[in-house]
Amino acid sequence: MPDTDHQALSRAAHWHADHGMAVFPLVPGRKVPAVRKDWEHQATTDHLTIAGTWRKAPYNIGVAAGPSGLLVVDLDQPKNPRDEAPEPWRERGAASGADVLALVAGDHAASLPPTYTVTTPSGGQHLYYRQPAAEQLGNSAGRIGWKIDTRGHGGYVVGAGSITAAGRYLADRSVSPRPLPRWIINALDTTQLADVQRRTTPDLKNTSAYTLAALTGELDKVLAATPGHRNDTLNRAAFALGQLVGAQLLDPHIARDELVSAAGRIGLPRTEADRTITSGLTAGTHHPRRRAT
């Protein structure tokens, strides 16, 4: 990575801290934590710590939503032409997460005020909102609607300025994060979400280190697979990571992106790999992983 990009990433990390966003390093060029300990507690706004960290390598920027007092609404784009909206969204003309969010806002007779927004390399958007003081909103996947996830306490997003093989994360810095609209809180149905989290992730310790180790281990298996066994190995890895997704320990986008990257590196055709990954992740999600404490 050119020195100019390294310097830009360092400046971006400091910019986030200046605006009250707690950051931690992600692996250069990727979206996974570069720290093996609890990334949420390592996230910081301290400029000396940030300078020391980003001096070492051109790390991407992880924004820890909880310590930053944020809830980030992640609006995704379809992965391919066959990735169509399910009903009732398709019937209502939705073709992306942004379309669905606009429809949900209309259903609540509400508006979507402009807020700090980061555009992802895939064309999706991260909408940053300030958490309400009385709420402790966590992560959700599809609870608001198709192609809409949220990241709150226990979650993170890739910060503006970060660079992956797909491109750079770009921010509209003309607007600061606005207070989270009440209708989004209502759409999240947080009481039900808390019940699900208690059922699926009881008393897990050091989940970030555990998850990172599991992710790295499964990717290593895929990369080491020999001809004739590569698709089966990819399917098993996708199932194992899907279990982490189902337990809300791993971001589904990260799981898919990392598996797609690994499959490409061992020469699996993209169409075949996509089918295998989707099948494995879906099956694994329905069997959430539990870890002994």
d(CA 246, CA 264): 25
Report mean pLDDT in 10-residue bins for the chain, 293 residues.
Answer: 86 97 96 87 96 96 96 92 84 93 90 93 96 85 87 93 95 90 81 40 48 83 79 91 89 88 80 88 84 48
Count the helices and strands in the chain (H runs, E runs): 10, 12
Can you name the residues that pair with 164 across neighbouring β-strands? 167
Can you name the residues that pair with 141 across neighbouring β-strands? 149
pTM (2 d.p.): 0.69
Can you name the residues that pair with 75 across neighbouring β-strands? 125, 148
Can you name the residues that pair with 125 across neighbouring β-strands? 75, 119
